[in-house]
Amino acid sequence: GNSVTQMEGPVTLSEEAFLTINCTYTATGYPSLFWYVQYPGEGLQLLLKATKADDKGSNKGFEATYRKETTSFHLEKGSVQVSDSAVYFCALLRKGAQKLVFGQGTRLTINP
Amino acid sequence: NAGVTQTPKFQVLKTGQSMTLQCAQDMNHNSMYWYRQDPGMGLRLIYYSASEGTTDKGEVPNGYNVSRLNKREFSLRLESAAPSQTSVYFCASSDNPGQGDYGYTFGSGTRLTVV
């Protein structure tokens, strides 16, 4: 079946540190891949996405590259800020499917 | 602002009471979804509606019913609330599922406590 596995959290970093949140997937064919962010007390927001192999999604300083050979879509940011503290969800959509498959989420806390 | 609107934002129910969570979107999206999010962060799909007039079960449909009233509105009903249904409920909508180039828009959530 289709599934998404994220690195377990919580992740705690200092401001200006480099961030990587790992995401790997299992799916038939070539799914589209997404990262969503949930700030405290809010719903999820689309952060970035990639629809085919080797595509790079980017937004707000975050990047993720669709790696077909390693079935991965790791989220990275070069210098995190306190305002990046949130829960991050990786997700996939198989071609022809009706709904997203979400990972379990990774809580990120950035300390000043 | 365009988006997904959920009401109410907070609700406390007694065990056995019923209530309906409302969701409306103004983006002319075809598909709508109801999720619950429990402590520990994960999202679980309750029901979804791929188009007006259709609904399908998700991972955890027991104890819930839904109605796709029209293209804009998708409600979730708890007929007899139980403490296990204490959760945060999110509605979402999307357009063109299956095209591979889309995303969900989420509402801000309803925080439900069943005592």
Beta-carbon separation of A43 and B90 below 8 A: yes
pLDDT of A19? 97
pLDDT reported for residue B101: 52
Per-10-residue mean pLDDT for chain A, 112 residues long?
88 97 92 94 92 94 97 97 96 84 94 96
Contact between residue B86 and residue B17 where contact means Cβ atoms under 8 Å apart:
no
Beta bridge partners of A95: none
* CA A73 – CA A66 distance, rounded (Å): 5
> What is the DSSP-derived secondary structure letter of residue B39?
T
Q: Which residues contact residue B1 at a Cβ distance below 8 angstroms, ignoring those fewer than 6 apart?
A: none
Name residues whose C-beta falls within 8 Å of residue B99's C-beta, 6 or more positions apart in sequence: none
Q: What pLDDT shows up at residue B106?
A: 93
B contact test, residue of A4, A44, A95 with most B CBs within 10 A: A44
Residues of chain B that touch chain A, judged by Cβ-Cβ distance less than 8 Å: 4, 31, 33, 40-43, 45, 48, 50, 56, 58, 90, 92, 97-98, 100-109
Tell me which residue in B100, B104, B105 faces A51 most closely, judged by beta carbons.
Answer: B100
pLDDT for the residue numbered A29: 84
The residues pairing with B25 across neighbouring beta strands, listed in sequence order, are B4
pLDDT at B42: 82
Chain A: give the shortest CA distance to residue B26, in Å: 17
Calculate the average pLDDT of chain B. Answer: 91
B63: its two tokens: 């104890």
Interface test with A, best of B38, B43, B95 (most A CBs within 10 A): B43
CA distance linking residue A97 with residue B16, whole number of Å: 36
Beta-strand ranges (E) seen in chain B are: 4-7, 10-13, 19-25, 31-37, 43-49, 56-57, 64-68, 74-78, 87-94, 105-106, 110-114
What length does chain B have?
115
Q: Among A13-27, B45-59, B94-108, whose mean pLDDT is lowest?
A: B94-108
- Which chain A residue lies closest to B89 (C-alpha atoms)? A43
